[in-house]
Amino acid sequence: MGGILVVLTLQGGAATPAGLDLLGLAAEIAQVDGGEVTALALGEGGAGAGQGLISRGADAVLYCADPALARHPGEAGMQVLAQAEREVQPDLLLLAADSVGRDLGPRIAARLGAGLVTEATSAALHAGRVEVTRPVFGGKAIARMAATTAQAVITLRPGAGAARAADPSRTGTVRELAVQIAPAANWPTVVRREVEASSGPRLEEATAIVSGGRGVGGPEGFSLLHELAQALGGAVGASRAAVDEGWVPAALQIGQTGKAVAPDLYIAVGISGASQHMVGCARAKTLVAINRDPDALIFDAARLGLVGDYREALPALTRAIRELS
Ligand SMILES: Cc1cc2nc3c(=O)[nH]c(=O)nc-3n(C[C@H](O)[C@H](O)[C@H](O)COP(=O)(O)OP(=O)(O)OC[C@H]3O[C@@H](n4cnc5c(N)ncnc54)[C@H](O)[C@@H]3O)c2cc1C
């Protein structure tokens, strides 16, 4: 395989955990199959972040901090990405399946006539080409796919790659990408950004997740889940049903149309175990289910199951964990 171009959006001058996961995946593929990994860092702070990206698996870093990227991530991002692609001529382009990657991935693939696989939940090298898995038929089945074109574009869901530990001895080039961006009046523009307040670890990085579903019955029930998550040093997640009810923000949704997570411990509370939810927590090391229906599907996937009302089970569990720790 030739080179790999990894598209990273910087936040606060640093790569996001999802970006570092992509970089780790690219480095893993390149290690087996050869080829250079180039990180394209979009946003302010690229020069400063460069060496950090090298230490995490990039062989070269191209950065662009043009202010137009913040205001027009789609249109300006496309110009920068197209320029980087011309210079690097990679066989594989990896993007996060986030708002930027979902916008840029299909557009660059169409321009290049490259094969496109979106929303991959894993990717690995098989017989010289990158094969990905992706939920299909509403999450009821997992498809294995690979582009048959010489050049491929893949967007990956959070948790699909694995960040490498920083290796400060790695060396590489860091260079600013020269792109003239002239924003047009009709470009879609970001007018405001709101950062959701949160405490505790991010879902993508949490080693323990307590996730609530429709069975939690309302927003107030989630306070019991927060207490347990806090005792475990973990994070709270949710099923789509709980999000659709408006009990918790959409950012907490786990599953096919939410996040894919890989904690050591996943406690599913009042969640029935629909395939579209399970695809998001399939990589949890230990799954514990608390459900009052003994026939709930979730018990088929759970290593430990507790049949009962979560309102009784959770306070006792939280107390026991606090005593133990
Ligand atoms: C295209 C598509 C994409 C989707 N994407 C997602 C996704 O990303 N994530 C996702 O989660 N879903 C997704 N869904 C929805 C999914 O099919 C299910 O509808 C959803 O996961 C059900 O959520 P739930 O398990 O919380 O609710 P329910 O299926 O209603 O289950 C509630 C459970 O709570 C139990 N319960 C009730 N009261 C209590 C109590 N007091 N104590 C303990 N247990 C109790 C019940 O026995 C039941 O098992 C998607 C669906 C489609 C079609």
Domains and CATH numbers, the chain: 4-176 (3.40.50.620), 208-324 (3.40.50.1220)
Distances, alpha carbon 262 to alpha carbons 4, 54, 65, 150, in Å: 25, 25, 32, 32
The DSSP secondary-structure symbol of 216 reads G
Instruction: List, for residues 127-159, the tens digit of each pLDDT value.
Output: 888 999 988 887 778 899 999 999 999 999 877
How long is the chain?
Answer: 325
The Cα 242–Cα 212 span in angstroms is 7
Q: How far is the CA of 113 from the centre of ligand 1 (A)?
A: 39
Question: pLDDT confidence of 34, banded at 50, 70, 90?
Answer: confident
Residue with tokens 């019991």: 224
Instruction: List, for residues 260-283, the tens digit of each pLDDT value.
Output: 888 999 999 999 999 999 989 988
The DSSP secondary-structure symbol of 52 reads H
Q: What is the mean pLDDT of the chain?
A: 93
225, 302, 213: which is closest to 265 by C-alpha? 302
| φ/ψ (deg, to 5) at 140 | -80, -20
What percent of the chain is modeled with pLDDT above 70? Answer: 99
Instruction: List, for residues 187-198, the tens digit of each pLDDT value.
Output: 999 999 887 777
Q: Give the residues surrounding ligand 1 with Cβ less than 6 Å away.
A: 138, 213-215, 239-242, 253, 255-258, 270-272, 274, 276-277, 280, 290-293, 296, 309-310
Q: In testing the pocket of ligand 1, which one of 211, 245, 256 has its CB within 8 Å of the most ligand atoms?
A: 256
- Reply yes or no on whether the pLDDT at 168 is more than 90: yes
What is the pTM assigned to this prediction? 0.78
Q: How far is the CA of 273 from the centre of ligand 1 (A)?
A: 7
Q: Write the residue with the smallest CA distance to atom 11 of ligand 1.
A: 239
What percent of the chain is modeled with pLDDT above 90? Answer: 79
Question: pLDDT confidence of 115, banded at 50, 70, 90?
Answer: very high
Mean pLDDT of 286-291: 98
Which atom of ligand 1 has the smallest separation from the CA of 241? 23
Which atom of ligand 1 has the smallest separation from the CA of 257? 8
- 47-56, 82-91, 96-105, 122-131, range with the lowest pLDDT: 122-131
- Reply yes or no on whether the pLDDT at 91 is more than 90: yes
Which atom of ligand 1 has the smallest separation from the CA of 239? 11
